[in-house]
A and B are shown apart, each in its own frame.
Chain A
Amino acid sequence: MTALAAEDLVLSCAGRVICGPLSFAVATGTTVGLSGPSGAGKSTILRALVGLLPPAIVAAGRRTVLGVEVGAAGVDLPALRSRAVLVGQTPVVFPASILANATFGVRHVVRASRAELRRRAEAALVEAGLWDEVADRLDAPASELSVGQRQRLCLARALALDPLVLLLDEPTSALDAAATATVEDAVAGLAGRRTVLIVSHHQPQLERLCTQVVTVAGTSPAERSV
């Protein structure tokens, strides 16, 4: 079963091709890495998969996520994004409490009681490896957290939606070794239950976490198995 796939995906900006053509398929429940040099368009590919491309960038080719063809007319993109969640490279926390950040997506998508939302947020914080550090101050402003904690809070915000697919853009770029290990543990814990696509330029990390790595290199993509 394929969770997400790209066929001859080409991204271009003002007529200039920035990456592709690229084809890959990610099977349900697997963890796949996307590697390549800086500026190869890895992050932009993740955005293309959920229809969050900057207006200047145009995507050609088929992108299929959870059976939905992204870019086709009449697609309910918000609904898709709540099942295939993108976690950006720079951790964006909203000016609200830690708890409110963790429930930010889920409270819009799911009709649930306050207690139920809180339970899901707590479970997500545990899964993201942040729970022990924030359990006693869930109502504190999220802006008090360190960058590494914010990155895991963003992961928790995505996990609270209980998504089938996670798209992680450089999830450990801002972290020190200890925090990186925590996030890697969290991602490894997702294996089997969720489909994960990770962008990273840190090859050893991808080899630790992924069953397969897709290399994006300018316009000549290569695929190899680990």
Chain B
Amino acid sequence: MGVVLVSIVGYLIIGLQSGSVDWGRLLTSSVWDAPSGQFGALSMIFGTGVVAVIALTLAAPLGWAAAVAVHELAPPRWRGFLRAGTELLAVVPSIVYGLIGIAFLRPFVAELADVPGGDSLLAAGLVLAVMVLPTIVAVSTDALAGVPAGVREAAAACGLKRSEVIRDAVIPPARRAMGAAALLGLARALGETIAVFLVVGRADGRMLDGVGDLWNRLVRPGQTLTTKLNGPESILAGTAGDHWAALCALGLLLLAAVVAFTVIGQREVRAGQGGRPRRYRARSGGGGAPRWRRGRDRVTRGALTAAAVAPLVLVVAVGGVILTRGTAALDPGFWSSESVGASGGGIRDQLVGTGVLVLAAGLLAAPVGLALGLVIAEYARPAVARWLRSLTLMLGGVPSILLGLWGYWLFSTRLGWGKSWLAGAIVLAVLAVPPVAIAVAAAVVELPGERREAALANGLRRSQLVRSVVVPHALPGLLTGLLLGLARAAGETAPLLFTAAIFSGARGLPDGVVDAPVSALPTHIFTLAQDAGDAAAGDAVWGTALALTLIAGLLVLAATPARRRLEAR
């Protein structure tokens, strides 16, 4: 797996050296003009920063408040339901979020700011806010769950009101890991490609002229690092020369930022789990007249309750839109008929293609993820295991667009496969391996020491111990990680655009490996959403979105019972 990560960094560096990159110009100029050889990325860095800041400004406070409300205030029997509701937001593939952005956020921004179209940094930031919300809620909830129950009781036993217990006893030990939740959300926002691509407008060279210009910039088109890389230039540039080198420089900048935030975020989550805040804060205030305290308690709890409902409102809104617009998918003929050019038609070949890709990715990711997880938790020395775990987490954070370009460079170009289903499946497998490996490693660590001891006392060798005790114990984790990883892989668009998918002409199962493309559901949506002017295409694209969301949702749903059944054995 380290090989893959090295290879991903490697192709970017080889790409850099295939041409000359003027780093000074790249980081300070906003003029990007390929024909005249001017490559300045400042406007893309600006755009990336702006959409990430918009997303976090909205999602971080809301996500924190929702996590606190769900974990600390909601009645226990509602807790699981509320949490699952928020997790549903993470099931929806990013291409579908892009579609929702096109349908609702673009018109919203157009009306709000009276600008044509509505493609804008603001629309991209709003889409991203919804997309990073589940990450922030999930990591924050885990942080709150890590605070021992005794802390709450001890604080309540001193006469603190509910909101005071939360503010002064529960949040301080959880604060560090909750901050890390925002960092992980930031990494997610920086690396997201496809949803942003569809609504950001992709206009180069737009920079800020002073503070007064800010609103004007927000509501007009811009460009981010990921959307630049996902554009046609990556194909047009060839895989050598100054143009390709400049694109690789963008990729490296993106990779460095995302990996840095992922690593810092994961480290902070771990550090915060000890329940120890970074520094001690001497506080004296917080008291007050009984009436004032009662009022403040009521207001705080009201605000938190509202925050807990917000993600549910989003789930209902997003789900409602997909369901009401996607009625085409209710017709069985839609699933079984061929697609028809720009007017959509059915999705038979796209279903087959996505099925082939996901199945092949699963067959590749399961053994590799199992092996990696076993090495981390069973075989490697502690120091090596720590490194491998960090590398795995880093790999899990690599933006999918960079994996797509890696597959394009390695398989499609270097190995001469052209567009190949196998190249796409390998890239999707790389996406699915980290969750599998982490889940397997976690399961192995939980293996009771007595069981291990009993097996060794019966004369088993190490390899026998692993085969008959460790691996069976890790299977539920393997399956859960695999299904969740594949649910994500099934909805990925950017990696397939460069490696495996074509819009039309791929019929049935692919034949061979070289020049054997497939059609896939997410890329089908991608193309229809951009090019189709036909009204029938509108029905087809939402129908496809519903089908894709259902498939991802079923994979996630399958993860829970599959795990339970295996664990009960």
Contact = CB atoms under 8 A, between A and B. Distances in A.
Interface of A: 47, 50, 52, 55, 76, 78-83, 85-88, 90, 92, 94-97, 99-100, 103-112, 114, 117, 139, 141, 143, 154, 157-158, 161
Given A95-B276, A161-B158, A139 B172 contact: no
Most chain B beta carbons < 10 A, residue from A47, A76, A97, A108? A108
B301 interface: no
Given A55-B76, A141-B280, A109 B287 contact: yes
Contact of A104 (B153, B168, B285, B288): B168
B191 interface: no
Q: What are the 5 tightest A-B residue pairs by CB atom distance, in nearest-first order? A: A82-B159, A105-B158, A92-B154, A86-B157, A81-B159
Interface string B144-171: 0000101101111111111010001100
B206 interface: no
A37 B168 CA distance: 36
B569 interface: no
B177 to A, nearest CB: 13
Nearest to A163: B159
Given A50-B157, A81-B160, A90-B150, 14 more contacts: A47-B153, A78-B156, A78-B161, A79-B159, A82-B159, A94-B168, A94-B169, A95-B172, A104-B168, A104-B169, A105-B158, A107-B283, A112-B287, A158-B158
Nearest to A46: B157
Contacts of A111: 287-289
Given A108-B293, A111-B287, A85 B282 contact: no
B37 interface: no
Interface residues of B, number: 35
B287 A85 contact: no
B284 A105 contact: no
B362 interface: no
A112 B172 CA distance: 23
Contacts of A85: 157-159
B298 to A, nearest CB: 12
Given A79-B290, A95-B275, A157-B158, A114 B153 contact: no
A80 to B, nearest CB: 8
A90 B148 CA distance: 11
Contacts of B459: none
Contacts of A52: 153, 156-157
Contacts of B210: none
Given A88-B157, A108-B159, A108-B287, A139 B282 contact: yes
B107 interface: no
B15 interface: no
B173 interface: yes
Contacts of B158: 81-82, 85, 104-106, 108-109, 157-158, 161
B286 interface: yes
B85 interface: no
A78 B150 CA distance: 17
A80 B158 CA distance: 9
B160 A105 contact: yes
A81 B288 contact: no
Interface in B120-151: 148, 150-151
A114 B285 CA distance: 8
B263 to A, nearest CB: 25
A143 B277 CA distance: 12
Contacts of B172: 94-96
Interface of B: 76, 148, 150-151, 153-162, 164, 168-169, 172-173, 275-277, 280-290, 293-294
A80 B160 CA distance: 10
B469 to A, nearest CB: 35
25 contacts: A78-B159, A78-B160, A79-B290, A81-B156, A86-B153, A86-B157, A90-B150, A92-B150, A92-B151, A94-B151, A94-B168, A95-B173, A100-B283, A105-B160, A107-B284, A108-B159, A109-B159, A111-B287, A111-B288, A141-B280, A143-B276, A157-B158, A158-B157, A158-B158, A161-B159
Contacts of A107: 283-287
A19 B183 CA distance: 49
Contact of A114 (B164, B275, B277, B284): B284
B153 A88 contact: yes
A167 B168 CA distance: 23
A100 B282 contact: yes
Contacts of B281: 96, 100
B277 A95 contact: yes
Contacts of B151: 92, 94
B157 A108 contact: no
A92 B153 contact: yes
A88 B159 contact: no
A157 B157 CA distance: 10
B283 to A, nearest CB: 7
A106 B290 CA distance: 13
Nearest to B159: A82
A80 B157 CA distance: 9
Contacts of B287: 106-112
A104 B152 CA distance: 13
Given A107-B284, A139-B282, A83 B159 contact: yes
B155 A104 contact: yes
Contacts of B159: 78-83, 85, 105, 108-109, 161
Contacts of B293: 108
